[in-house]
Amino acid sequence: MILIKLGGSIITNKGKPQSARRKTIDNILKQIKRIDESKILVHGGGSYGHYWSVKYGMHTKPARYSLKGLSVVKNSMIELDKIILNSATKNRLNPYCLPPTDFMNGNKPIRSKIEKIGEIAKSGLTPVTYGDALWYGQKKSYILSGDVIMTAIAKVLKPRLSVFVLNVDGVYTDTRSKKLIYDFKKETPKISK
């Protein structure tokens, strides 16, 4: 099984709100179709959800963020996911939409639901999920990033490979220094916020 993250920077025009890079998405998914192995896709928000979460000051820590912001981020991610699903259908990937609320409770992953994602992938469907704005409870919400989803799924399903398709130079030891990791045996990458 292969776990694939489509970064928001590669699938959207980050400088222009609500702007998908449709040809790029089609080309990436055409290549992913060639992989003869079960796969799970996770995508980021780019100029959709990420743009609006910044605009409304929403973060990964649960808090009482603007209800309008929560609604706008969530709706924009559904719109971007629909673009990904349509391209995946066109490229015969048999996509199966899985909003993160299907496998998250508050900000905790639900192991049994993640195991089901693996079963869905092994059946020949391609589960597709995404970073999103989620309800936490007690009038709080938070941003669940695609990177956190990748980690949660990988911990449970132990994929043969995790691939990050990004519009950056590589995986950094930290984003400030931009020092690249060349050998994952020597250094453990960290997900920075």
Residue 116 has pLDDT above 80, yes or no: yes
For residue 8, tell me if it sits in a domain: yes
Q: Determine contact, residues 42/130, Cβ cutoff 8 Å.
A: yes
pLDDT over 60 (residue 191): no
Question: Residue 48 falls within a domain, yes or no?
Answer: yes
59-93, pLDDT tens digit by residue?
A: 999 999 999 999 999 999 999 999 999 999 999 99
* Residue bearing tokens 């984003």: 175
What separation in angstroms does the CA of 149 have from each of 19, 63, 109, 128, 179? 23, 20, 9, 11, 24
Using a pLDDT cut of 90, give the percent of the chain over it: 81
Whether the predicted pLDDT of 11 surpasses 80: yes
Coil, strand, or helix at residue 105?
strand
Cα gap 13→16, rounded to integer Å: 6
The confidence band for 14, taking pLDDT boundaries of 50, 70 and 90, is confident
Contact 86, 145 (CB under 8 A): no
Per-residue confidence (pLDDT) for residue 186, from 0 to 100? 45
Within a domain: 7:
yes
Q: Give mean pLDDT, residues 11-33.
A: 95
What is the pLDDT at residue 106? 83
Per-residue model confidence (pLDDT) at position 19 = 97
**Is 72 among the domain residues?**
yes
Q: Does residue 170 sit within a domain? A: no
Q: Give 169's pLDDT tier (boundaries 50, 70, 90).
A: low
Assigned domain for 182 exists: no
User: 114 falls in which pLDDT band (50, 70, 90)?
Assistant: very high
Return the pLDDT at 107: 85
Instruction: Tally the domains of the chain.
Output: 1
CA 30, chain centre distance (Å): 18
Of the two residues 187 and 141, the one the predictor is more confident about is: 141
Q: What is the CATH number of the domain that holds 12?
A: 3.40.1160.10
Beta carbons of 162 and 147 less than 8 angstroms apart: no
What predicted TM-score, i.e. pTM, was given to this entire model? 0.87
pLDDT of residue 168: 65
Looking at the predicted structure, is the pLDDT value of residue 167 above 90? Answer: no
Instruction: Give the pLDDT band (50/70/90) at residue 164.
Output: confident
Please report the pLDDT score of residue 189 as a whole number: 46
Q: Is residue 160 part of a domain?
A: yes
Computed over every residue of the chain, the mean pLDDT equals 91
Give me the helices (H) in 37-166, please: 49-55, 67-90, 111-122, 146-157
Asked if the structure places residue 175 within a domain, the reply is no
The parent domain of residue 40 ranges over: 2-165
